[in-house]
């Protein structure tokens, strides 16, 4: 069985990329969650083609991979936006008013927690504590922590992102 | 680096590392923890590296969390021991010129709490640090977490050598049992007993050593700070655990939301292998042991032991019934000893200094210290380590500096989503595993969230239940469905549609969920609701009967108003209002313009105006 698996042909560009990610692992079913994290890290979501390939390589049924993909919050089965915004909703951030920011994002910009904006530009997600409670509420914009958030400052982030993207579109 | 192969070699290497450190006349320690990095520590580090590039005589370290996150980025210059707060890159040349070169103290960068004119220069004078007693965090501001030599210079891995060469495995076990070290992850079960049960289980099967670093409690970052600040203390503890239990291999399960902790620990493991503390034939003793990192997938339930093992196996993290003990059947159904980060970090200290020293700290039934993250509406947010038995009042008012902005204390939440809220009347409780449980909350892993009078306890209870609905694995019905029903009722109450029987129903539902759930998540999930009902029933009733939210939080029950006497007419609120709900009152002149008024019909209650009002003239009620 192993011989068959190791000779799984690599056909597409994506399969080649996944094969490169797998180089760090023993390729046992036990590595599944971490492999999926690497795929998520690379593409920002879990494309089906990648999952099918992982299923063959690690010898795990595709259904089981989807079970994992839907159970753990780190994974997204849909493409995510160009910008990823994480709003920390830990208890400390909550009592300091993180919820008001989420409400205002939905009201003003139509950004719903856990969803990607219609234009595909911004994905807005919650995270349960980043361990930097002193500066809560916190928004992480494309990996950059922004602390001491207020409704006004949070709104300014979206406006700036939209402005920058509009600028880029003009340049193009 | 050739591997260290004996206790003697280790000793000479430690001495050499210490000598090298001592040769530096000056040391600058910059807090480089997650919170300080988020407010500019990286830029400060770059400035120091540039300024100090030519100065060989200065040891500059980017250390783990110093604890006093509130006033970060923090810089300590030793040996003068001065603490600088809120340091900016532009301050760095002056620090290097005056404090590093001349040993002077720069007054403008010192810590000044409030307006009372008090200034603090030294670490041990600052009230936030003065009442703490640091064991696990003691080395945090002294060592570079990326340098194993720094850890060795502080006597690191001595406990490992002692356990390997001067003690028997049973002797190590006895020391930890005598120390009565209780699990710091929340359960409070004695680690020594756990080790003993694991050791004695199934001698024919391999035994595993696991570190639980899936710190899922929102508002808690103790374990993160230990991993970021002193990763080798955890590694050393785990190897000692493997000696006592007879562990074949080790795992650490770190949540992926902690990128810096992951990077630090990964590097520490690599160094420990290079030096011969991990791998084959550790320190020439013949023992072999290694540790593998597993990254969590962002599921709170994976902090539960049996769920964690399933996740380690690459599966979905669903817990199983408790009558199967993980010490007997854990990872791959083999005997597994699981302890939390802080528990492991205590182990080398116990071996080095002895059980008698450890039991001299804290209380008889909860010896030692405990690390807490003190957060929420508190003046001094940060990471603290205190002896068990200290009162909540000392923690919140002496160390924490009281409530932010001098407001009134309402409650403190301990134990995360499994714990509860304690009111003013409980403030003199000594903090240990048993006393907090008796009061209806629990110690938990160490998150302590302070709430002021502008917090709504019903809203907080709803927050935790909604959090747990998301995090429930869905395997057993009481947790999956029961929490949903509790959430429906809590939302109804917060929306001003609460019914007279709702509080009683919440209590009944809560007790049923506790009795019938499969694992500890469900078994403790109703605690935030039950404890707030116990201590703050009036607030629930105010929501239901009077349709009022005393904390001014529940949007459906509050309105925004401008206090006419306080408004200075500056119009800042009008400019930020997204719904054009703020207008001038014609003819009502104030200092900077016309008095403003809020049209409550148009107001969307977003709170943007309160944030910008310079005279605090806007209120919610």
For chain B, the C-alpha Rg in angstroms (whole number) is 26
3-state secondary structure of B253: strand
How does strand B336-340 pair with strand B420-423? unpaired
Specify the DSSP class assigned to residue B389.
T
A83-165: CATH topology is Glutaredoxin (3.40.30)
B24: tokens are: 């530096």
pLDDT at A169 (0 to 100): 65
Residues B550-579 pLDDT 10s: 999 999 999 999 999 999 999 999 999 999
Mutate to test the interface with A, among B35, B416, B560 (most CBs of A within 10 A): B35
pLDDT at A6 over 60: no
Residue recorded with tokens 């060989």: B56
Interface test with chain A among B607, B610, B618, by most A beta carbons within 10 Å: B607
Question: What is the reported pLDDT for A170?
Answer: 63
What is the C-alpha to C-alpha distance for residues B315 and B54, in angstroms, rounded to an integer? 52
Residues in contact with B65: Cβ distance below 8 Å, sequence separation at least 6, in sequence order: B31, B33, B34, B35, B36, B137, B140, B221, B225, B228, B229, B383
- CA–CA separation, A127 vs A129, rounded Å? 6
**Dist. CA B515–CA B580, nearest whole Å:** 51
Amino acid A3: pLDDT: 41
CB of A138 less than 8 A from some CB of B:
yes
Nearest of B338, B286, B264 to residue B307 by alpha carbon: B338
Give average pLDDT by consecutive 10-residue segment, chain B, 621 residues. 92 96 94 90 96 89 93 93 96 95 94 86 91 94 96 96 97 97 91 96 96 89 94 98 96 91 96 97 96 89 92 91 88 96 98 97 95 93 94 95 93 91 94 89 89 94 94 92 97 96 97 94 94 95 95 92 94 93 92 93 92 92 85
For residue B250, the number of C-alpha atoms closer than 13 Å in the C-beta half-sphere is 26
- B428 class by beta-carbon count within 10 Å (0-12 exposed, 13-18 middle, 19+ buried): exposed
Task: For residue B125, give every residue at least 6 positions away whose Cβ sits within 8 Å of its Cβ, in sequence order, or none.
Answer: none
Is the pLDDT confidence value at A8 over 70? no
Distance, CA of B595 to chain centre: 45
pLDDT tens for each residue of A122-142: 999 988 888 888 888 999 999
Strand extents, DSSP E, B47-140: 58-63, 75-78, 82-84
Please give the Cα distance from B133 to B361 (Å, whole number).
9
Q: B154 and B142 in contact (C-beta within 8 Å)?
A: yes
CB contact under 8 A, A131 and B312: no
Name the token pair of B53.
């590039």
Cα separation, B523 vs B484, in Å, equals: 15
Q: For residue B576, what is the nearest residue in chain A, using CA coordinates?
A: A152
CB contact under 8 Å between A33 and B257, yes or no, is no
Q: Report the alpha-carbon distance of residue B620 to residue B438 in Å, rounded.
A: 36
Which residue, among A111, A32, A43, has the nearest Cα to A72 in the 3D structure? A32
- How far is residue B80's CA from residue B27's CA, in Å, rounded to a whole number? 9
Which chain A residues contact residue B85 at CB under 8 A? none
Q: Phi, psi (5° rounding) for residue B430?
A: -70, 135
Q: What is the pLDDT of residue B323?
A: 84
Helix (H) / strand (E) element for B451: namely strand B447-452
CA distance B294 to chain A (A): 7
Q: Is A120 left (phi over 0), alpha (psi -120 to 50) or beta?
A: left
Is some CB atom of chain B closer than 8 A to the CB atom of A155?
Answer: yes
> Do the chains contact at B69 and A132, CB–CB below 8 Å?
yes
Of B219, B467, B612, nearest to A133 by CB-CB distance is: B219
**Residue extents of the structural domains in chain A:** 13-71, 83-165
Q: How far is B54 from chain A (nearest CA, A)?
A: 31
Task: Report A:57-86 residues touching B (Cβ under 8 A).
Answer: 60, 64, 67-68, 71-75
Distance CA B509, CA B380 (A): 37
In whole angstroms, give the CA distance from residue B520 to residue B303. 10
Could you read off the pLDDT of B182-209 as tens digits, one per residue? 999 888 999 999 999 999 999 999 999 9
- Chain A residue closest to B220 (CA)? A131
A29-83 pLDDT tens trace: 989 999 999 999 899 899 999 999 999 999 999 999 999 999 998 899 999 999 9
User: Beta strand B593-598 with B582-590: parallel, antiparallel or unpaired?
Assistant: antiparallel
Say if the Cβ atoms of B35 and A75 lie within 8 Å: no
Residues of B in contact with A74 (CB under 8 A): 256, 296-298
Nearest residue, CB atoms, B381 vs list A104, A133, A155: A133
Q: Is B600 left (phi over 0), alpha (psi -120 to 50) or beta?
A: alpha
In this complex, do A135 and B611 lie within 8 Å of one another by their Cβ atoms?
no
Note the pLDDT of residue A9.
67
- State how far the alpha carbon of B438 is from the alpha carbons of A98, B441, B515, in Å: 32, 7, 18
Q: What are phi and psi of B200, to 5 degrees?
A: -80, -10
Q: How many other CB atoms are found less than 10 A from the CB of residue A22?
A: 18
CB of B485 closer than 8 Å to CB of B529? no
Q: pTM value? A: 0.91
- Tokens representing residue B113 in the block: 């709490």
What's the rounded mean pLDDT across residues A134-153?
A: 90
Contact B173, B192 (CB under 8 A): yes
CA distance B13 to chain A (A): 33
Q: Inspect the interface and report whether the beta carbons of A73 and B375 lie closer than 8 Å.
A: no
Q: For A68, which residue in chain B has the nearest alpha carbon?
A: B316
Degrees to nearest 5, angle at CA B175 with B174 and B176: 90
Looking at residue A4, what is its pLDDT?
A: 44
Contact (CB<8Å) B555/A71:
no
Per-residue pLDDT, A128: 83
Element containing residue A87 per DSSP (H, E): strand A83-88
Q: Which residues contact B374 (CB under 8 A, 6 or more apart)?
A: B380, B381, B382, B383, B384, B395, B396, B399, B400, B448, B450
CB contact under 8 A, B460 and A94: yes
> Residue A1 above 50 pLDDT?
no
Nearest CA in chain B to A150: B611
Of A28, A37, A134, the CB nearest to B381: A134
- ipTM summary value: 0.85
């Amino acid at each position: 069985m192993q011989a068959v698996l190791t000779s799984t042909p690599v056909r597409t560009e994506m399969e080649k990329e996944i094969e490169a990610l797998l180089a760090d692992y023993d390729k046992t079913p036990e590595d599944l969650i971490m492999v999926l994290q690497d795929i998520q890290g690379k593409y920002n979501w879990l494309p089906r083609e990648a999952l099918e390939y992982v299923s063959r390589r690690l010898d795990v049924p595709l259904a089981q991979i989807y079970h994992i993909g839907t159970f753990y919050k780190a994974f997204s089965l849909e493409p995510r936006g160009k910008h990823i915004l994480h709003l920390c909703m830990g208890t400390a951030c909550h009592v300091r008013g993180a919820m008001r920011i989420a409400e205002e994002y939905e009201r003003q910009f139509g950004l719903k927690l856990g969803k990607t904006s219609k234009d595909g530009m911004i994905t807005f997600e919650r995270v349960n504590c980043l361990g930097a409670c002193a500066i809560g509420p916190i928004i992480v914009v494309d990996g950059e922590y922004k602390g001491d958030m207020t409704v006004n400052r949070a709104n300014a982030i979206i406006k700036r992102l939209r402005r920058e993207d509009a600028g880029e579109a003009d340049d193009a | 680096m050739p591997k260290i192969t004996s206790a003697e070699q280790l000793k000479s290497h430690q001495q050499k590392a210490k000598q090298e450190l001592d040769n530096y006349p000056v040391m600058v320690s910059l807090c480089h923890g997650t919170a300080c990095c988020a407010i500019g520590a990286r830029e400060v580090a770059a400035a120091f590296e540039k300024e100090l590039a030519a100065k060989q005589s200065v040891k500059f370290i980017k250390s783990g969390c110093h604890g006093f996150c509130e006033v970060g980025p923090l810089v300590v210059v030793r040996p003068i021991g001065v603490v600088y707060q809120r340091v900016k890159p532009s301050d760095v040349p002056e620090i290097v010129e005056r404090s590093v070169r001349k040993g002077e103290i720069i007054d403008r960068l010192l810590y000044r709490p409030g307006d009372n004119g008090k200034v603090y220069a030294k670490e041990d004078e600052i009230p936030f640090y003065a009442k703490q007693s640091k064991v696990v965090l003691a080395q945090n501001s002294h060592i570079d977490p990326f340098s194993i030599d720094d850890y060795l210079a502080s006597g690191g891995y001595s406990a490992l050598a002692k356990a390997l060469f001067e003690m028997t495995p049973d002797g190590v076990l006895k020391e930890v049992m005598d120390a009565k070290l209780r699990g710091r992850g929340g359960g409070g079960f004695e680690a020594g007993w756990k080790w003993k049960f694991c050791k004695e289980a199934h001698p024919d099967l391999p035994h595993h050593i696991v570190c639980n670093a899936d710190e899922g409690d929102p508002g808690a970052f103790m374990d993160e700070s230990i991993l970021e600040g002193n990763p080798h203390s955890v590694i050393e503890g785990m190897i000692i655990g493997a000696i006592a239990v007879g562990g074949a291999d080790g795992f650490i399960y770190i949540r992926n939301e902690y990128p810096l902790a992951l990077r630090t620990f990964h590097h520490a493991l690599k160094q420990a292998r290079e030096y011969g503390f991990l791998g084959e034939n550790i320190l020439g003793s013949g023992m072999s042991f290694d540790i593998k990192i597993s990254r969590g997938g962002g599921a709170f339930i994976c902090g539960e032991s049996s769920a964690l093992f399933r996740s380690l196996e690459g599966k979905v993290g669903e817990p199983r019934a408790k009558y199967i003990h993980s010490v007997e059947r854990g990872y791959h159904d083999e005997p597994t000893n699981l302890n939390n980060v802080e528990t492991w970090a205590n182990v080398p200290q116990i071996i080095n200094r002895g059980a008698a020293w450890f039991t001299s700290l804290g209380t008889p039934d909860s010896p030692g210290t405990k690390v807490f993250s003190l957060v929420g509406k508190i003046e001094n947010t940060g990471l603290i380590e205190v002896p068990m038995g200290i009162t909540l009042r000392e923690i919140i008012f002496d160390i924490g500096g009281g409530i932010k902005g001098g407001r009134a204390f309402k409650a403190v939440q301990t134990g995360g989503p499994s714990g509860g809220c304690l009111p003013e009347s409980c403030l003199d409780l000594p903090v240990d595993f048993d006393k907090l449980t008796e009061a209806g909350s629990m110690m938990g892993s160490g998150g302590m969230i302070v709430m002021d009078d502008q917090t709504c306890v019903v809203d907080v209870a709803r927050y935790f239940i909604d959090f747990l609905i998301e995090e429930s694995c869905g395997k057993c019905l009481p947790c999956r469905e029961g929490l949903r029903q509790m959430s429906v009722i809590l939302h109804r109450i917060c929306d001003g549609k609460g019914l007279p029987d709702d509080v009683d129903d919440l209590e009944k539902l809560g007790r049923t969920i506790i009795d019938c759930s499969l694992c500890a998540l469900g078994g403790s999930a109703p605690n935030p609701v039950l404890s707030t009902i116990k201590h703050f029933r009036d607030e629930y009733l105010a929501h239901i009967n009077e349709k009022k939210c005393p904390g001014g939080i529940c949007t459906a029950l509050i309105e925004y108003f401008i206090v006419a006497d306080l408004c200075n007419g500056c119009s800042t609120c009008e400019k930020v209002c997204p719904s054009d709900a703020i207008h001038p009152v014609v003819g009502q002149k104030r200092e900077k313009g016309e008095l403003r008024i809020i049209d409550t019909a148009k107001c969307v209650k977003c709170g943007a105006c309160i944030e910008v009002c310079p005279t605090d003239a806007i209120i919610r009620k």
